[in-house]
Structure 1
Amino acid sequence: MTPATPETSASDPAAPAKSKDHHLRFHKTHAHLNSTFGSDTFALKAEAFARFFGTPTFLGAQTLIVLLWVGANVAGFTHFDVYPFILLNLAFSLQSAYAAPLILLAQTRQAARDKANADADAEHREALAMANEHRLADAAKNSAMMLELLEQNTRLTELTKALTERIENLTVEMHDHFVKKPSA
């Protein structure tokens, strides 16, 4: 694949011409993978929820809730979930039932995005390598042309020198022929 140039971008509407994200042109074919769960409201909330599970805020909040829950039931402030805290275990099971699939889905889609980005990067590297080969070929062609021009220039310079010497010799001969020296 050749890199998009101003000439090719006129014939290819997918190739951006001098746009600020021209360097991302190889990633455009994988743009549908950008949102992990899709682009609707549920998808955006699900992705935010899955991302929130790995944050220190979530772990701190969950630890605080568990400590308050256990502390309130052990201290006797409330008796809705006494030891062995079956309701708390049920809440953790419910949380795991929803968290695990969301996290797995996020990981699967992230792996797909990573692979697509790696493929796009490989395509970009290939395009750069091909462009570099073209530049090297053009440089070699220009070098060969310059060498040929230098050789022509050298031949012309040698020819000019030979002609100048011949003219000088002829001038001396003509001068000697027309201007005779008196004999002594």
Structure 2
Amino acid sequence: MSNLSDFLHHHFDKPADELGDIERRVLAKAHARKVISTDVNAVLSAESSFGERVADGIARVGGSWSFILAFLAFLVVWTIINTIILMSEAFDPYPFVFLNLILSMLAAIQAPIIMMSQNRQAERDRFEAAKDYEVNLKAELEVLSLHQKIDMRVLTELTALREDFARLTAELSARS
């Protein structure tokens, strides 16, 4: 644990008890040299209920061009059948009261389902942002570690050069 506390001391300017959960998790992963999983789809798919998956599917279909075009075709067919084909015996004559009822019921059902899906998308975006933060924090820690290693290497080389310079200076002084 002291090795982890040394790692903490070199990378953060605050004690371990002031770190947040995310910082602790990232610090532990960076210290252990483990990869942070960023597969948002797998995590959220595993946690979603059947109803949430259905809501996502309905929102995906209801918000597609194929649904819009199919529903537009349905409206055109409905209008043609009830105005031209079945002129005198139309089951929903103009002003299409039954069609308006169907559209209202569809909107009443579809709107909350789409809202549920949008809420899940917002939750997914927050989760993804948190994962991005973790990855960025770990990358920053890795960069700091590399800087520290390079600095230590440069200091070691400078010390060796000073020793060599002092030795050579001493040899030159001894020869003269």
- What range is the shorter-chain TM-score in? 0.7 to 0.9
The aligned runs of 1:27-42 (5 Å cut-off) are: 32-34=43-45, 38-40=48-50, 42=51
Question: Residues 59 and 117 of structure 2 are in contact (CA less than 8 Å); yes or no, is this contact kept in structure 1?
Answer: yes
The 5-angstrom pairing of residues 1-184 of structure 1 reads 1-2=26-27, 4=29, 8=32, 22=35, 25-26=37-38, 32-34=43-45, 38-40=48-50, 42-77=51-86, 79-163=90-174, 165=175
Separation of aligned partners in 1, 2:46 and 2:92: 40
Instruction: Kindly indicate whether the alpha-carbon contact (under 8 Å) linking 1:3 and 1:128 is maintained by their aligned counterparts in 2.
Output: no
Segments of structure 2 that go 5 or more residues without pairing to the other structure are 1-25
Q: Structure 2 length normalisation: TM-score?
A: 0.73
Q: 1:61 to 1:109 in 2, by over 3 A?
A: same
TM-score, normalised relative to structure 1: 0.70
The alignment's C-alpha RMSD in Å is 2.6
2: CA distance, partners of 1:61 / 1:35: 32
Structure (1 or 2) with the larger CA radius of gyration: 1
Divergent runs of 4+, >3 A: 42-46
SS at match of 1:84: coil
Structure 1 residue runs of 5 or longer lacking an equivalent are 10-14, 16-21, 167-184
More helix by share: 2
Relative contact order, higher structure (CA 8 A, sep 6+): 2
Count of residue pairs brought into register by the alignment: 149
